[in-house]
């Protein structure tokens, strides 16, 4: 049985295809259109999934959309009605779109599918699970657990903003839900907005800014107090109540009432791209700590009502890897599995899984030989040496070809050890927001200048942004206070104390720039200012060539850790094709590119025409 799942029309549209419960392929539309967070119907991703599965649309048993549009429409109407006359402008803005398009979503989906196969597009079975059920399914059905609690936290689906479920066998049972407008995801996005970042894009920046706050200062404590007294009421079961007098997202066109927040906290909304002064760092830390408290309370409640030993997580807030790490440290659950594409893109996979297991009552087969059902999240397109050769001819690129894999890996490991930055384009593209060793930029984590070089000269992004380490799974405990697995960069953990370098006595009094480039450990380029790192454990069975590269690097240097960051520049999606990789390599200060068995040296390349250097992605 073949099921195609789709998410679309909000942000991060995607498609995924499963066959008899096995995940075959999944990809975000943005990787094909090059429009970051593309919300359009994922026709390119669908075509790829069908091609990889060797199926026509006519051979698909069902197409499953990741939410119920009429329930969402009901929520919008009820919200506007209960708040009238407030929200008239927002109502007049959104209703024409709903009446013209989203009210007729089934027809729109069939019309779009008909562009792929006219006959099948009109006849294929369409299913519509609820948004949070799709999220829950995306995490549980690919997890290694026979039974698990499932916590889903995001902005909002139809009505639900947070849910607690239990999964067992091929069943998922919804136990508790928190409904709109009370939402941890929207609360965090409100602070993302006030701190000058883009909503639904910059939440991870807010998380990265938080450690620059002073954890022992009265200011942070005061902000936490203000948040809890005025903005959000926390309950012991993890549910929350947001005071809507301070928020504008329910009926307005912005997240908050700017003047009320300015009065509450004593400073205005940060101007995007301006220097983050200390009050914004402290405020980011305050909401991060409140978020962690809520997540832990939710997990505690999930444990209480399910009795499960294991936890699955999905929804956009599940990408808050700092909160996940704190939750893991509590030991509430024996093990936590976070869907690597936890946001709306992963809803496509969850929709397909919900269709197969819940609607069709498909049998769930556990594989003890596999870490999980995500195949290392390497579910996207792959390209051959022939594809790369075409690009070489197009750009008249200089290259070196390696017939022997060991020779290639030895050369690349040596280049990284010498301080070079290397683009790494190999195998199937990752599904989800993290580069995991297929579309990656790699560098030496021991280099104290590498964070600055990568941010300023290659990623073209804010200097405070940290980089993640990839570490051999068998060596993780030698570098971090952790001995488990984190193959999808879902957990933040501390660097081991013996590797840390003590901070100066006046460190907390410094501003962001004063804190930024202080060497904090023996792997400084991946150590955040609070001695933490977002870990990726690398496993031979899921990404053999990348594992071999890191093992070769360890053999040469004695270090089993490298920087692994996504192969893109700010404002653009992660690269997909070899041509995109070559263009990104050429217009940044990257030193080398490895695509398949080809090695490209920047110094040997012909000059690229100026129009190819224009960065079209914009701000993220």
Average pLDDT, the chain: 93
Summarised one tens digit per residue, pLDDT across range 291-304 is 999 999 999 999 99
- Domains of the chain with CATH codes: 1-141+344-373 (3.30.420.40), 143-338 (3.30.420.40), 385-613 (3.90.870.20)
- For the segment 359-387, the average pLDDT, to the nearest whole number, is 93
- For the segment 478-482, the average pLDDT, to the nearest whole number, is 98
Choice among 309-313, 357-361, 390-394, 501-505 with the minimum mean pLDDT: 501-505
pLDDT for 616 beyond 60: no
263: confidence class by pLDDT, cuts 50, 70, 90: very high
CB neighbour list of residue 393: distance below 8 Å, 6 or more residues apart? none
Nearest to 177 by CA among 206, 139, 209, 150: 150
pLDDT for 99 beyond 70: no
Higher pLDDT residue, 99 or 591? 591
Summarised one tens digit per residue, pLDDT across range 155-206 is 999 999 999 999 999 999 999 999 999 999 999 999 999 999 999 989 999 9
Nearest to 287 by CA among 209, 342, 177: 209
Give the strands of the sheet with 62-65, arranged side by side.
Answer: 22-28, 14-19, 2-7, 62-65, 126-127
Secondary structure (DSSP) of 437-491: SSEEEEEETT-TTHHHHIIIIIS---TT----EEEEGGGGGGTBS--S--TTS-E
Tokens of 66: 């990741």
Summarised one tens digit per residue, pLDDT across range 513-567 is 888 888 999 999 999 999 999 999 999 999 999 999 999 999 999 999 999 999 9
pLDDT for 615 beyond 60: no
Summarised one tens digit per residue, pLDDT across range 566-610 is 999 999 999 999 999 999 999 999 999 999 999 999 999 999 875
Token match 């390599």: residue?
A: 585
- For the segment 110-134, the average pLDDT, to the nearest whole number, is 92
- Enter the DSSP assignment of 378: B
Cα–Cα distance for residue pair 222/234, rounded to 1 Å: 17
pLDDT confidence of residue 367: 80
pLDDT confidence of residue 89: 64
Cα–Cα distance for residue pair 305/308, rounded to 1 Å: 8
* Maximum C-alpha span of the chain: 72
pLDDT for 102 beyond 70: no
Burial 16-44 (b: 16+ CB within 10 A, else e): bbbbebebbbbbbbbbbbeebbbbebbbb
pLDDT for 438 beyond 90: yes
Nearest to 31 by CA among 50, 55, 49: 49
How many residues belong to the chain?
620
pLDDT for 90 beyond 70: no
State the pTM of this model.
0.95
pLDDT for 100 beyond 90: no
Summarised one tens digit per residue, pLDDT across range 306-348 is 999 999 999 999 999 999 999 999 999 999 999 999 999 999 9
Question: At residue 426, what are phi and psi to the nearest 5 degrees?
Answer: -145, 140
103: confidence class by pLDDT, cuts 50, 70, 90: low
Cα–Cα distance for residue pair 84/250, rounded to 1 Å: 11
- Enter the DSSP assignment of 272: T
Summarised one tens digit per residue, pLDDT across range 264-278 is 999 999 999 999 999
pLDDT confidence of residue 614: 43
The percentage of the chain sitting over the pLDDT mark of 70, rounded to a whole number, equals 94
617: confidence class by pLDDT, cuts 50, 70, 90: low
- Enter the DSSP assignment of 480: B
The percentage of the chain sitting over the pLDDT mark of 90, rounded to a whole number, equals 83
pLDDT confidence of residue 226: 98
- For the segment 229-250, the average pLDDT, to the nearest whole number, is 96
pLDDT confidence of residue 373: 96
118: confidence class by pLDDT, cuts 50, 70, 90: confident
pLDDT confidence of residue 358: 98
- For the segment 49-78, the average pLDDT, to the nearest whole number, is 89
Evaluate whether 191 touches 287 at the Cβ level (below 8 Å): yes
């Amino acid at each position: 049985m073949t099921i195609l799942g789709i998410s679309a029309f909000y942000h991060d549209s995607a498609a995924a295809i499963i066959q008899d419960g096995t995940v075959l392929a999944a990809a975000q539309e943005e990787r094909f259109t090059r429009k970051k967070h593309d919300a359009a119907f994922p026709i390119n991703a669908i075509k790829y999934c069908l091609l990889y599965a060797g199926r026509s649309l006519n051979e698909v048993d069902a197409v499953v959309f990741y939410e119920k549009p009429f329930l969402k429409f009901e929520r919008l109407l009820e919200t506007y009605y209960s708040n009238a006359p407030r929200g008239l402008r927002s109502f007049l803005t959104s209703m024409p779109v709903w009446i013209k398009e989203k009210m007729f979503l089934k027809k729109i989906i069939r019309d779009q599918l008909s562009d792929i196969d006219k006959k099948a597009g009109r006849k294929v079975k369409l299913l519509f699970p609820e948004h949070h059920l799709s999220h829950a399914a995306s995490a549980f059905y690919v997890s290694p657990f026979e039974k698990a609690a499932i916590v889903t936290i995001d902005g909002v689906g139809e009505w639900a903003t947070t849910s607690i479920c239990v999964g067992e066998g091929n069943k998922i049972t919804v136990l508790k839900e928190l409904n709109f407008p009370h939402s941890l995801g929207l609360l965090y996005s409100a602070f993302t907005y006030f701190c000058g970042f883009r909503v639904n894009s910059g939440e991870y920046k807010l998380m990265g800014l938080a450690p620059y706050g002073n954890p022992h200062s009265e200011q942070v404590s005061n902000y936490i107090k203000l948040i809890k007294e005025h903005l959000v009421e926390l309950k012991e079961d993890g549910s929350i109540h947001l005071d809507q007098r301070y928020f504008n997202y329910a009926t307005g066109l912005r997240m908050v009432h700017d003047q009320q927040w300015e009065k509450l906290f004593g400073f205005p909304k940060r101007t995007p791209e301006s220097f983050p002064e200390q009050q914004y760092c402290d405020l980011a830390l305050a909401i991060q700590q409140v978020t962690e408290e809520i997540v832990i309370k939710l997990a505690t409640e999930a444990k209480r009502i399910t009795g499960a030993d294991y936890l699955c997580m999905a929804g956009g807030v599940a990408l808050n890897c700092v909160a996940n790490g704190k939750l893991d440290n509590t030991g509430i659950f024996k093990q936590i599995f976070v869907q690597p594409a936890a946001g709306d893109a992963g809803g496509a996979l969850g929709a397909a899984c919900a269709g197969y297991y819940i609607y069709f009552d498909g049998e769930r087969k556990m594989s003890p030989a596999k870490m999980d059902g995500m195949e290392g999240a390497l579910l996207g397109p792959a390209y051959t040496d022939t594809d790369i050769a075409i690009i070489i001819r197009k750009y008249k690129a200089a290259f070196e070809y390696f017939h022997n894999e060991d020779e290639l890996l030895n050369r690349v490991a040596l280049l990284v050890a010498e301080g070079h930055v290397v683009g790494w384009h190999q195998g199937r593209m990752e599904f989800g927001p993290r580069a995991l060793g297929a579309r990656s930029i790699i560098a030496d984590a021991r280099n104290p200048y590498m964070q600055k070089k990568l941010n300023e000269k290659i990623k073209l992004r804010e200097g405070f942004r940290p980089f993640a380490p990839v570490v051999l799974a068998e060596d993780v405990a030698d570098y971090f206070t952790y001995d488990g697995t984190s193959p999808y960069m879902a957990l933040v953990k501390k660097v081991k104390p013996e590797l840390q370098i003590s901070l100066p006595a006046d460190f907390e009094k410094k501003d962001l720039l004063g804190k930024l480039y202080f060497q904090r450990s023996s792997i400084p380029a991946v150590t955040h200012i609070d001695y933490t790192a977002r870990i990726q454990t690398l496993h031979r069975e899921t990404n053999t060539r990348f594992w071999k590269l890191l093992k070769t690097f360890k053999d040469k240097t004695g270090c089993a850790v490298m920087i692994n960051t996504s192969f893109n520049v700010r404002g653009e999606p992660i690269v997909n094709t070899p041509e995109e990789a070559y263009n990104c390599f050429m217009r940044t200060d990257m030193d080398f590119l490895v695509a398949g068995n080809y090695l490209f040296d920047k110094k040997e390349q012909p000059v690229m025409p100026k129009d190819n250097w224009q960065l079209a992605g914009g701000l993220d």
